[in-house]
């Protein structure tokens, strides 16, 4: 996973242009660690709503992004409006490798307290694609 991010998603490079492309890339990375891995939207939804003990003001993804990822969110600290996470509500989501790397890095470290695994990222995108 680190290699994917450090190298602009490794060999995928500019090929990553859709949410499905990112789902495929994260799934492939997760399968290198666990060949039986399959993305699970339910696991992704549980991860999205899970309360982590890292930050009292941002305990979960849904703290800023709301329980419904097709709705606009609001950053709990800055108050800035956040465009919907779900690609069907926001076609720009998961279309730019740099932005995907930036936001997964920032949000995972701030909310989860660590980098998210490739499996978590794949599950998360699978969840968002189904909402």
**pLDDT computed for residue 13 by the predictor:** 53
Six token digits for residue 69: 């990822």
Strands (DSSP E) along 15-116, which ranges?
A: 73-74, 81-82
**61 vs 87: CA distance, rounded Å:** 16
Burial grade of 100 (CB within 10 A; 0-12, 13-18, 19 or more): buried
Tokens of 49: 């709503």
Distance, first Cα to last Cα, the chain: 25
Q: At what angle do helices 19-33 and 118-129 cross, to 10 degrees?
A: 150
Q: What integer pLDDT is reported at residue 54 of this predicted model?
A: 74
Residue 7 confidence (pLDDT):
41
pLDDT of residue 41: 98
Per-residue confidence of the chain (131 residues) as pLDDT tens digits? 444 544 455 555 558 899 999 999 999 999 999 999 999 999 999 999 999 977 788 899 999 999 999 999 999 999 999 999 999 999 999 999 999 999 999 999 999 999 999 999 999 999 999 98
Hey, what domains does the chain have and what are their CATH numbers? 2-129 (1.10.760.10)
Q: What is the pTM of this model?
A: 0.87
């Amino acid at each position: 996973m680190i290699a994917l991010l450090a190298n602009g998603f490794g060999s995928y490079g500019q090929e990553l242009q859709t949410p499905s492309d990112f789902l495929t890339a994260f799934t492939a990375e997760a399968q290198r660690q666990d060949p039986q891995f399959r993305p699970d939207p339910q696991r992704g939804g549980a991860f999205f709503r899970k309360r982590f003990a890292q930050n009292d003001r941002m305990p979960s993804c849904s703290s800023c992004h709301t329980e419904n990822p097709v709705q606009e969110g609001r950053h709990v600290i800055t108050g800035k409006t956040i465009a919907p996470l779900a690609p069907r509500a926001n076609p720009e989501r998961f279309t730019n490798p740099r932005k995907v790397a930036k936001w997964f890095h920032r949000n995972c470290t701030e909310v989860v307290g660590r980098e998210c695994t490739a499996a978590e990222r794949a599950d998360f995108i699978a969840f968002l694609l189904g909402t």
